[in-house]
């Protein structure tokens, strides 16, 4: 008789508790491969905490490393989180002990994925991580397995539900970033310190993983250019709407002649696109590939049940004996990434300048843009009602927004033009720059 697959779960927060419950509820379906699956041991920081679970039937470990090394388990499920510390030590210990590893830890994989994958290969164990990117969306399997016959040219998406919730509320209700962030924290969508989410670092970790899978390169988290959403103002969302766009925080990895671009930043996407329809805490990933064309996956990007769904899917693969190279191919076959610096990125741009409302300012801006080789698709100047009423026939000299949409231009040229405009004394505050992702 086949021995049951014994799970040791480290981390009994929202996701860990959901995994315990899901394994119990889906026991019959999980045993369809011919091997039963059962949780036999757990680890967490506080044994006395009420999690709504009966833990009496599980061996308890205060130390996740001790759990990882225990002979009482076959699979170590790491749900502790963090790129260093106990999570890293425990995963390393599990692999060294010949245990399969299932993890939801994108930070750990983004920083140490190659080394951990190499160690797993040498030990002949699985390192599975479907839950690390886009929660319940099976994007890892889709790229690594479902699209194995495709050449991918671009992968991009909404990979952070907190940011998408904030931008959705700002657009729908005309609220400020600060007001929406406060609501997101009250609802549990954002941490007390939201920096990791709203400044784009969470998205960057996930994008680095997708880049490795999509293009067969080593993970290069430090090669991701990162900008967050904290500088976005209601005016930017209103202008985007007027121009036929919606603003999303996107992670974009794209193959170019110079190498692989990896960038995270607020982006204007056409309202008609599938990804523009994704609102609230939902995530979406679009893959552009040669055989299937454009494929978009949309679903819950976080939450206990959604993330547990991805964790249990990996457990089911282990139970069925499915073993695949961690990043789609052996570590030795992954190529070194050729970084493309953001200055070389080419595309359309939305530029909001706050300028002094006086004669010649718009002409001066246009001149500097032309000198940098940038063609302007449209230009809109908005005078405030106060400025117009105080000086209906002339210029008030007060700061007013001047919005430009450019045709394709390089980031370096745009930055050069903005620096020259600043030196001319035309700006009342720092410019806002948002890239446009065209189909």
Residue 14 assigned to a binding site: yes
d(CA 431, CA 355): 9
List all residues 6 or more positions away from 283 whose beta carbon is below 8 Å from its beta carbon: 134, 135, 137, 157, 158, 159, 160, 161, 164, 298, 299, 300, 301, 302
Cβ atoms 134, 157 nearer than 8 A? yes
Residue 12 assigned to a binding site: yes
Reply yes or no on whether 88 is catalytic: no
Q: Which residues pair with 402 in a beta bridge?
A: 353, 381
Q: Which two tokens stand for residue 187?
A: 């609802």
Residue 15 assigned to a binding site: yes
Residue 13 assigned to a binding site: yes
d(CA 143, CA 327): 10
Choose, from 206, 271, 305, 386, the residue flagged as catalytic. Answer: 206
Residue 199 assigned to a binding site: no
CA angle, 113 then 119 then 124, to 5° = 120
Residue 106 assigned to a binding site: yes
Residue 11 assigned to a binding site: yes
Residue 16 assigned to a binding site: yes
Lookup result for tokens 């992954």: 334
DSSP count for the chain of H helices, then E strands: 15, 17
Closest residue by Cα to residue 140 from 328, 335, 307: 328
Cα Rg, the chain, nearest whole Å: 25
SS3 331: helix
Annotated binding site for NADPH: 106
Annotated binding site for L-homoserine: 191
Annotated binding site: 10-17, 106, 191
Annotated binding site for NADP(+): 10-17
What are the residue numbers of the active site? 206
């Amino acid at each position: 008789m086949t021995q049951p697959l014994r799970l040791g779960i480290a981390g009994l927060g929202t996701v860990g508790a959901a995994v315990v419950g899901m394994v119990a509820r889906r026991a019959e379906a999980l045993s369809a491969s011919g091997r039963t699956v059962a949780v036999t041991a757990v680890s967490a920081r506080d044994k006395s905490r009420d999690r709504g679970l009966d833990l009496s039937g599980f061996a308890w470990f205060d130390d996740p490393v001790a759990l990882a090394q225990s002979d009482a388990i076959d699979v170590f499920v790491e749900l502790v989180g963090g790129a260093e510390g106990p999570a890293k030590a425990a995963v390393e210990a599990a692999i060294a002990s010949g245990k399969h590893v299932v993890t939801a830890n994108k930070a750990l994989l983004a920083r140490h994925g190659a080394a951990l994958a190499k160690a797993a290969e040498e030990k002949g164990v699985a390192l599975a991580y479907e839950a690390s990117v886009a929660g319940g969306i099976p994007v890892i399997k889709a790229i690594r397995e479902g699209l194995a016959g495709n050449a991918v040219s671009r992968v991009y998406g909404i990979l952070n539900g907190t940011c998408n919730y904030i931008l959705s509320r700002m657009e729908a209700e005309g609220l400020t970033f600060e007001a929406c962030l406060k609501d997101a924290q009250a609802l549990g969508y954002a941490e007390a310190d939201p920096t990791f989410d709203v400044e784009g670092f969470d998205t960057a970790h996930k994008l680095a993983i997708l880049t490795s899978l999509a293009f067969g390169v080593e993970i290069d988290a430090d090669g991701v250019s990162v900008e967050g959403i904290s500088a976005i103002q209601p005016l930017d969302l209103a202008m985007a709407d007027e121009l036929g766009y919606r603003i999303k925080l996107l992670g974009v990895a794209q193959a170019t002649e110079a190498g692989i671009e990896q960038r995270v930043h607020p982006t204007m996407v056409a309202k008609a696109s599938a990804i523009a329809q994704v609102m609230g805490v939902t995530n979406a990933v679009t893959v552009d590939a040669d055989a299937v064309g454009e494929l978009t996956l949309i679903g819950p990007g976080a939450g206990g049940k959604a993330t547990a769904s991805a964790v249990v899917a990996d457990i089911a693969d282990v139970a069925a004996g499915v073993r695949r190279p961690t990043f789609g191919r052996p570590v030795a076959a992954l190529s070194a990434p050729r970084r493309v610096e953001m200055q070389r990125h080419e595309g359309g741009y939305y530029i909001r300048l706050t300028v002094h409302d006086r004669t010649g300012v718009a002409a001066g801006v246009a001149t500097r843009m032309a000198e940098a080789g940038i063609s302007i698709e449209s230009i809109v100047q908005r005078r405030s009602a106060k400025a117009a009423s105080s000086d209906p026939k002339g210029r008030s000299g007060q700061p007013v927004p001047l919005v430009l949409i450019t045709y394709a231009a390089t980031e370096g040229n745009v930055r050069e033009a903005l620096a020259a405009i600043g030196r001319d004394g035309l700006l009342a505050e720092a410019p806002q720059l948002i890239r446009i992702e065209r189909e």
